[in-house]
Amino acid sequence: MVVGEVATETEVLVIGGGPGGYVAAIRAAQLGKDVTLVEKDRLGGVCLNVGCIPSKALIDAAKAYHRLAREAERGIVVEGARLDFGRLQGWKQSVVQRLTSGVEQLLKGNGVTVVKGRATFTGPNQVRVENPGGGNEVYRFKHCIVATGSRPVELPGFGFDGVRILDSSDALALDHLPLRLVVIGGGYIGLELGTAFAKLGSAVTVLELADQLLPGTDPELVQVVARRLRQLGVKVHTGVRVLGWEEEPGGEGVRVVFRPEPRGEGAAGAGARGSAGSSGSEEQAVAADAVLVSVGRRPNTDSLGLELAGVQLDERGRVRVDAQLRTSQRNIFAIGDIVPGPMLAHKASREGIVAAEVIAGLPAAADYVAVPAPVFTDPEIATVGLSEAEARQQGYDPVVGRFPYAANGRALTLGERDGFVKVVADRETGVVLGAGIVGPEASDLIAELALAVEMGATLQDLALTIHAHPTLSEAVMEAAEAGLGHAIHVLGKR
């Protein structure tokens, strides 16, 4: 610290105001701590401002717009429907504003001091905050929770310019609908946004390096989404490497160049390699007005001065933490996207609560047994716990119960028949190990199965729980019954 520089004292300093940081700040304040939260940009972080919330608003609006063309079969004829993209973006932003304003009020109501600026560690108990106006303030803390989130990975040769080459935030902020959109990366961000733009009218092409879309997800679930993408007219190339891009003659758009990536024999999976016409090793090109690059995210741990605080990172730039989310410097905690584990807002929020409670002396610890992972594709995918393959790898003898949406009365009344519920349990004990759902409202239905995994419920527990009729949740009960060998509404093996 510079001689003569006065430091502001605070009991708990939280760096980052996203779903992990603001939740941690509120919980610490509830537990009687003096809390200061430092946020360099907007409260709510990526999730509320340029991620989870605006993307789901766009996805739902696209779903409603696209569905208009399908309503005729149910006797609803809509003529003259048109898309006002500017108005859609305005509505989306109003949703974001409502939520971020709510976060601000919650922090204020819980007595959290909010400071605007960029925080940098200058030691294990101190940070310097550079204010937007250029001034500096010093804060000394007893405990610190670092929740600085992540940012998109930039693909070499595809530097983000916000016009032609977009990251997910750029795509959500467009003031016009691109006629042709190339999505590089077939993970959850690329498929969610790609599907939404396809429903709004863009011609979409997806390029994915892996041999299946949504790498790491149960191929059985992914197949349903891959089939729907084809129905939407989305062209999918898996097992391909993107080489670069060039401007089209006349400068109207760009051409993205790619080629099939050599693989070993038998490497094809869901959304199989070359599914949109890739062959051999010849280079191909696809034209686009905009290119969305969504090949992953990296933790925001650089430029924080963590080394000056004695905080250790792993080989991927993530902060090393123990079960209580303490770093190598025991008074500093780290949560969310900057620590190992899935980059999910709800995981960050839970970790924020854990860190705050540990600081307050409560017996809390992080538990990753039942972290639900939703993907807002069409149809939705949601998973929790172990997949069938993972259960087998861990030495279990898994029994699997499946129930199709096509046999669920509520799904048929919604005009949705694609997808199924899949429950994985230990054959010997019947304990539910995990589940996967692909179909409408999967993101909500997975909550029951997350609770089942968390509490150690059995297939019989799920099957004996009476579910309301007619609802989509009955598919969970019937999948459990199928796993027990006595499903009612599907024929079992004889």
Long-range contacts of 51-56 (CB under 8 A, 24+ apart): 51/168, 51/169, 51/345, 52/345, 53/95, 53/96, 53/99, 54/92, 54/93, 54/95, 54/96, 54/172, 55/168, 55/172, 55/189, 55/192, 55/193, 55/196, 55/376, 56/376
User: pLDDT value at position 270?
Assistant: 56
pLDDT at 276 over 60: no
Instruction: Compute the average pLDDT of residues 263-277.
Output: 50
Instruction: Compute the average pLDDT of residues 347-358.
Output: 98
Q: Where residue 266 falls among pLDDT bands split at 50, 70, 90?
A: very low
Burial of 80 (0-12, 13-18, 19+ CB in 10 A): exposed
List, for residues 91-148, the tens digit of each pLDDT value.
999 999 999 999 999 999 999 999 999 999 999 999 999 998 888 999 999 999 999 9
Q: Where residue 252 falls among pLDDT bands split at 50, 70, 90?
A: confident
Q: Where residue 250 falls among pLDDT bands split at 50, 70, 90?
A: confident
pLDDT at 77 over 80: yes
Exposure b/e, 244-277, CB count within 10 A at least 16 = b: ebeeeeeeebbbbebbbbeeeeeebbbbbbbbbe
List, for residues 425-444, the tens digit of each pLDDT value.
999 999 999 999 999 999 99
Q: Where residue 273 falls among pLDDT bands split at 50, 70, 90?
A: very low
The pTM of the whole model exceeds 0.85: yes
- What lies within 8 Å, CB to CB, of 233 at 6+ separation is 198, 203, 204
User: pLDDT value at position 72?
Assistant: 79
Q: Would you please indicate which residues are annotated as catalytic (active-site) residues?
A: 469
User: pLDDT value at position 262?
Assistant: 84
User: pLDDT value at position 272?
Assistant: 45
pLDDT at 267 over 50: no
Residue 135 CB coordination number (10 Å): 9
Q: Where residue 382 falls among pLDDT bands split at 50, 70, 90?
A: very high
List, for residues 188-223, the tens digit of each pLDDT value.
999 999 999 999 999 999 999 999 999 999 999 999
Round to whole Å and give the CA distance between 140 and 5: 12
pLDDT at 243 over 90: yes
φ and ψ at residue 199, rounded to 5 degrees: -70, -30
Annotate 460-484 with DSSP letters as a single string.
HHHHHS---SS-TTHHHHHHHHHHH
Strand partners, 107: none
